[in-house]
Structures are given as C-alpha cells and as structure tokens.
A and B are shown apart, each in its own frame.
Chain A
Amino acid sequence: MKKIALAVSVVALLVALPASAQLNFDRYVALGDSLTAGFTSGGLVDCYQMHSYPAMLAAQAGAANFQMPLISPPGIPSVLELASLAGGVPVLVPAGDPADAFPYNATYPAPYNNLGVPGATLYNLLFTTGDINNLLAGNTDNVMHDLILRIPQVLNPQTGQPMDFTALVQAIALDPTFVTLWIGQNDVLGAVTSATAMEGVTMTPVDVFATLYPQAVGALVQMTSADIVLFTVPDVTMAPFVHTIPPFLNIPALGGVVPIMGSNGPLTSDCLVTLLASSKLAQGYGVPVPGYPPLPEDFNLATGEPGYVLRPEEVAAIQERVAAYNAIIVQTADAFGLPVFDANAVLADLINHGIDLGGVHLDGSYLTGGLVSYDAIHPQQLGYAVFTKYLVDFLNDTYGAGIAPVDLTEILFDNPCYPLGSAYGVAPESVQFSPEAAEGFLDLFMPTLPQVLPREQEAASATD
C-alpha cells in the first residue's frame, strides 16, 4: 500500500480532466495480461499486437496516440508455425529465432498505453516491475515485464525517494482518461496449462484476490479521473487447449476406442486432456497396455513437467475459482460504481456458438475455427477483432460513446502476420508441439510460485 500511496504524488502533479459523459480516449490505458497485450500463437509480435483489442479500440475511437511495446518478427517468444504435415500430423514449431526479434519501440519516453503483460497475475499488476537492462544483459527470468514496463523504479517527485514503477503505477502516471482492466486470467490459467488445480500454486486464493483486486481498482479510481471499465475473467476451461484431444485412443489392435491410461487410472469421458499431451501420446504414453507408461496427470513439482489431464473435479474447482473471481470483480465494480464488461460471457458464446460473417462460420474450433490461435488459448487476429466488436458495442451502449463500429471485412480475408508463419495442420487432435515450442509456451504460462503470495507475504511485501 505504501507503493500505491507513493504513486499518488506522481498523479498529483498532473491535472485531472473533468469527468465526461462520453469517453475520452486522449490517454487510453489498457491494463492486463497476454489477452490485453495481443499475445497470439504463442508469441508477442507487432503484426498481432496492432490487432490487440486495446489497439483496435483505440483506433476505432480515434485515439491520437496509442503506444505499444512493439516487437519485430518472429516475436518474443517466436510465434508458432507448422513445420510438417507428414502423415497428416501437424507439428507446431517456433517460426524463427526469438533472438532476431527486436523491441523497436523500447525507447518510447513514457509508459506504454498498452500495459498488458503476458503471464501477469493480479499480484504482478500491483507489485512486479521490469527492467529492460536486465533483458539486454541476457537475463530471461522476467522477459515480459522487462519488455513492457522497462524501468523498475522512478523517483517520487515529491519525496525524491525511489518508487516501484509497476504496471499499475505506470498506468496512473499516464494520467489516463480511460482505463480498461482485464486481469485475473493468470491467477487460474496455470491450473489448465499444468493440468493441476492447486491452491496457492496454480490458483490464487480467493481471499488474496478479494484483497488485491479492490486495491488495484481503488488506486485507479482515487488517483485518476479516468472512466474505468472492468472485465470479467473467462472460464479458462473453455479453451481449445483442453478440448481438442479426446480422453481416449483409437487403437484397432485393442478393439477400437479405449480410454487413455492416466497416472491415476483410466480417463473417463469427462476428463480434459491438454494439447501438450499430443507429444506424449505420440511417444506411447497413455496406451492402456502393460509396458506403456501412463500419461502423467498432474504437475510435477520436482521436475517442472506439467500434468496433462484435468479430472472433472479439477475442472469444477477451476470453474468455481473463476466464478469467485468474477463475483469479486462485480462486487468491486458495484462498490466503485464502475461498469463491467462480461468478457467471460462474450468469449463463452464465441467459443461455443461462434459467429457468422457473410456465411462464414467462425468458432472456437482449433486450427479451422478462425477465432483461436495456434497456442489454443489466445485468440488470433480475427478473434481479437470480433472481441473488440463486442467491446465497442458495450461501450457505446454503456456510455453512448459513439465509437465507430468495428469492420471485420479486411481482417477476415487478410491475416496481417501471414506468411510470418507458414503452415498449419488440419488434424488438430494429433497436433504436436515441438519441444522448443512447448518449452517457450510453458515458460510463460506455467505457474511460478513467487507470483502467488499468501496474504501475509503480500502484506509484508507491500510495506517494504
């Protein structure tokens, strides 16, 4: 809380704009994580960043200056592409060497308008800083925060004392006229990517979320004059990441369809298998025959290897956690009188039912659905554009904002990043991530224990 208090002085130097009945996009700041950053197909790259929902919203609203941490191809991490279709098995690999990627807007002399940090949790939003020099020195322990936040500390102009330049403080320092806040996905996403619902490790405890979320929103409300919109957290169990590979194998020698053998026994039809399991299954894991290793179901704390199976009770626990977060978000919004954009409902409808555009049906199907990118968790450019359409509709309905409706025509027929990637498969249930692709993906979205602190540790940290 001390850090937040310090930020007040930064903001105090700036002249607050009067509240407006309509939205003012002069200084629009988007806070969030990978979904806000425009993360697509396992990487952060300029051609997709420019189609992130904040960038598209800013363009539709006519924002004059919307700065982003643009990264040249092939992106950081490199976006995925298909290396092979041999045998009808699509294999995804990085499109290039991420060392070739360059953050060419890194010298922009102010915080970015898009402060979405891939992998960021609610805790990170409040307390984590980044240092571009750390990255330039070759350290990759905090890549995304280093790339996007860049400066770890600034001097409080009133006290002369250094203060942490977190994403939240950077947003406040911009004296925003409009803020969107979409945070919380990574407080539970690790339970899906690691296929392990573990309190305090892959899922932020509800009481921690209940403490931190109002603090973040309260800081924005009290220290800015911005209109603020809060987003709900999507049900991460909807992702094609766990809906593409079925919990069974078709092995004619065993009589046809047989359940995958997991480390806790045969999988039932309501088990969810992660996309990363494809490589394991190709190696013979899960074949229900003696001599074949079972498919690991849970996160291995010793080796860091993820699990690959979500049992129904784990799915329920994750969904309950998302519901608890969203209840907190709604309660917080009510307390501060802020509108809530129900991103969870929008994404659920898009993934499950899809949208038709001129006779073209788009939905959440992996590889051919058109909305979800190759990492099976994040949208691709079309998905972000459709999401932005709903966001614009919401803002126009809520504020009478008069934002120009999103035109999806060009992006429907023209992927701005193609042919950055080269080819993708058509047998999604058998897709394979190369070890490099899987590793890059896991580095970003696997849980890291320090990101989730129990309340007492958080409190201690905040008063450092």
Chain B
Amino acid sequence: MRKYLATAAVLLVVPSLSFGAGFALFETGTRSFAMAGAFVAVADDPSAMFWNPAGLAFQDDKGTQVMMGAILIAPQQTFYGEPPYPGEGYSTEQKDQIFFPPHFQFVTPLGERTTFGFAVQIPFGLGTYWDDDHAGRFISKRVDLMAYDLTPNLAFDLTDNLALGVGVDYRISTISLTRNVPLVDPFSQQVVDVAQTHIYTDGVGNDGWGWHAGLLAKLGKGVSFGLTYRSSITVDYEGYADFFQFSTGNPELDAIVAQTIPFGETISGTTQIEFPDFWIAGLAWTGERVIISAEWGRMGWSSFQELALTFTDYPEFNESIPENYHDADQYRLGFEYRASQSLALQLGTLYDETPQPQANMTPLLGDAARTSVTCGLSWIKGNFRLDLGYEHLMMKDRSTEGTSVSGYDGRYESSAELAGASMTFTF
C-alpha cells in the first residue's frame, strides 16, 4: 500500500517539472508577447526585465514607467488511448480552464547612466485538470503550479551603444496535486480506487534565489544585438499530503486500508526542484517605422534527470524517479509596424521544442513541440500605452507509442489560445 502512496506523492510533485518548456511562461508583457517574444535585441519596454534587462538602460529618457497586465491562456488537450493501457477507443479531454498570469513592472532612472527596475512575473505556471474517473487518475487528476518571481534590476548604459543589465530573482512557488490511489484488491485480484490524495504546498518557505544578466549592443544602422542569461533556480519545497478514503464496498478491505493509510492526518514531505536556466541571443533591426527581430533561446532542462522526495515521518515513502529531460531550443521571429504616433501593429511566430522525452508524457503533462503565430497592437496616447495581443498555439500531435514509463500510452492532441492586455503609464 505504501509504495502506491509513495509513488503518488512523488508524482504529485513531478508535474511541476514535467511541464518543461510547455510549462514555462514567456508572457511578461503584451507587446513582446505579440512579437512572439523576439525581444532580447529589442527590449525597449518594461518587459525587458524578463527578456533583457540591459534594455532598461536605453529607456531612461521615458522617465518612470509602470506596466501591468495579464495574459489569458485557454489550453485544450485531448488524449486518445493506445494499448496496452488504456487502449484503443478510449479518449478524454481536459476540463476547460483559463489561466491569467499577471505581470507588473516598474522602471525608473536613477541617474544619467543607471536605471532601476522591479518586476513581478510568473515564468512558470499552468495546470492540467482531467475528469475524476479518467483512466489516468492514478497519475494525476489535477495539478496546479505557479512560480512567482520578484526581480529587482539595475541597468547601466556603458556607452551610448552598449548597455548591461543585472538582476536578482526571488522565486516563490506553489504546487497542488490531486490523484487517486490504486490497490490490487487482494480479495478480488483486480484494481480498485481506495483513496484520493491531495498533495500541496502553502508557498511560505518554498522559495529560491537566482540571477540574470543581459547585454544589449547597438551595432549601427539600426541593428542591435541582445544576449541574456537567466540562471537556474532551485526551490526547496515543504509539502503536505492529505488522504480521503473511498469505500470499495468491502468493509473488511476498507478496514485494512484504513490501517495502512494515515487518513485524517496531514503528513509532511520535502522535495527540490531546479528550474532550468535560460540562454537567449538575438538580433534586431529597427527602422523608422519597422522593427524586425529574431532570436534563439535554450532552456537547460537537462539538469532535470530525476526527482527525489523525502517524507520525514514516513521514510518508507521516500523515492527517486527518473525524468531524463533534455535541453530544449526555441526560435522566435517578431515584427512591429508603427502605423502612426499612436498606433503600432505587431506580428510574430515561434517554434519551441519540448524537453520532455516521449516516454514521460503523462496526464500531468503531455508536452510536444509547438508552433505559434501572434499578433497585437499598441495604442499610445500621451503618457499612456495600451497593448493588446493574441496568440494561437499549435502543438504537434504526439504519441507515447508504447514507451510510456508510467504505462499510460496514447496520443495527445493539444492547442491553446492566448490573449493579453497590458497598460503602461509613464511619469
């Protein structure tokens, strides 16, 4: 019995990692979002604190800026079963969910060559939510993960054409996961659901520190080069697990289960997640009315090879499971056309590899490479700017092809619609 609980507990923490690039969020400002995030060599609004903090140094002529907004994300995913489990003919869809990771940025010059910025952003977050009785309920019924970053930045214009930005990231993360606990019923010799477990963190103390730095160089003739590195961040989690017993219809079995699982008790456990580092490099050309930007990024998911979970009071639950992620590249292309002093239009497209091995796709996350097209507009009036953006994200259909390490084989078909809005005030 306890081995199931241990597995449940571990897997409940894994999904936060298992989302990989698919769980990483890049929506920290609507204008950069509408340019598909091809912003490392542009970095000319407060969202530069995510894409390239050096860009703040070239914004000192704008005075103090405050930007805030949110990107709504509406994912869809359908799972089609394959043998041996859950088999051909089985399909299920995720329940409808809408996420709206917010962002807030504050930028102000500290002197002629120094700019200060502070941002609150969510670089990782999302969730999956399946029906209570779906075939993968022993892996996950619902997972939610959020990672909030508080990031102070300083940017320096070393010369008129070269800037450096550095910052610190303080990350707070929360996880909530729900799944059923299976048991081979010794009475019937068939699998039954004996409990539901909910593992969660409260966010307090589940934190970690990281840093980032960026370089932005104006090479002349409107061409700029940007380079950013965001460090990995290790978050130590203290989590809890509660259990709710299901009746199997057999009082004798239920009594045995009740003696084995600590119902009515909250047990504690710890784990550690190393969020990946992130390299970004790109070029942009800025003309009188047009910006064209291209960039490459790599997230260092290869650091995520396994996950260890420790239960202080229940050491028999301790477990380490392999993940075998690999680094994932992404390619972004953005375009902006300034139609007038008050209106600008954006377009973009991106291709994002998945770090998740085929065998590791589960109801926690069935990730795949994705392609996106984006568009948006900016309306400027005086000291106020409104950005609106939209993204259609298409994920490649992907099957485990009988390789699932959790024995849950099938094909995932996924897509997402995203829409964002940001407001910027300049003082």
Contacts and interface: CB of A to CB of B under 8 A. Distances in A.
Interface of A: 82, 85, 90, 355-362, 367-370, 373, 380-382, 386, 389, 404-409, 412-415, 418-419, 421-426
A36 to B, nearest CB: 21
B87 A85 contact: no
A423 B187 CA distance: 4
A422 to B, nearest CB: 7
Contact of A406 (B84, B186, B191, B256): B84
23 contacts: A85-B252, A356-B406, A358-B85, A359-B7, A360-B407, A362-B184, A367-B186, A368-B183, A368-B186, A380-B189, A404-B83, A405-B82, A405-B402, A406-B83, A406-B84, A407-B83, A407-B85, A409-B86, A412-B85, A413-B192, A415-B189, A423-B187, A423-B252
Interface residues of B, number: 38
Given A356-B407, A358-B139, A361-B3, A414 B84 contact: no
Contacts of A386: 84
A386 B182 CA distance: 18
Contact of A357 (B8, B82, B407): B407
B230 interface: no
B4 interface: yes
Contact of B184 (A359, A370, A422): A370
Contacts of A419: 188
Contact of A422 (B1, B187, B405): B187
B135 interface: yes
Interface in B145-203: 179, 182-184, 186-192
Given A358-B407, A359-B136, A380-B189, A369 B84 contact: no
Residue with the greatest number of chain B CB neighbours at <10 A, chosen from A386, A407, A422, A424: A407
Contact of B138 (A359, A407, A409): A359
Contacts of A406: 83-84
Contacts of A85: 252
A426 B186 contact: yes
10 A-B pairs closest in CB distance: A359-B138, A407-B87, A405-B83, A370-B184, A356-B407, A357-B407, A359-B139, A424-B186, A415-B190, A418-B188
B118 interface: no
A332 to B, nearest CB: 31
A145 B182 CA distance: 40
B386 interface: no
A85 B188 CA distance: 14
Contact of A407 (B1, B7, B84): B84
B90 interface: yes
B84 A359 contact: no
Nearest to A41: B189
B4 A361 contact: yes
A267 B87 CA distance: 47
Contacts of A415: 188-190
Interface of B: 1, 3-4, 7-8, 11, 81-88, 90, 135-139, 179, 182-184, 186-192, 252, 256, 402, 405-408
A230 to B, nearest CB: 24
Contact of A409 (B90, B182, B402): B90
Interface of B, secondary structure class, is loop
Given A415-B188, A418-B189, A418-B190, A408 B84 contact: yes
A367 B207 CA distance: 43
B187 A424 contact: yes
Contacts of A373: 189
Contacts of B7: 359, 361
Contacts of B135: 358, 409
Contacts of B82: 405
A368 B135 CA distance: 21
A351 to B, nearest CB: 15
A373 B7 CA distance: 24
Contacts of A422: 187
Nearest to B84: A408
A413 B187 contact: no
B189 A359 contact: no
Contacts of B84: 357, 386, 389, 405-409
B132 to A, nearest CB: 14
Residue with the greatest number of chain B CB neighbours at <10 A, chosen from A367, A380, A382, A426: A426
Nearest to B138: A359
Given A359-B139, A361-B7, 14 more contacts: A90-B186, A358-B136, A358-B407, A359-B136, A359-B138, A360-B138, A362-B184, A368-B184, A381-B189, A412-B191, A413-B192, A415-B190, A419-B188, A425-B186
B406 A359 contact: yes
Contacts of A382: 189-190
Given A407-B88, A409-B86, A82 B187 contact: yes
A125 B10 CA distance: 50
A419 B183 CA distance: 17
Contacts of A414: 190
Contacts of A359: 7-8, 11, 136-139, 179, 182, 406-408
A168 B133 CA distance: 48
A87 B402 CA distance: 44
A402 B246 CA distance: 41
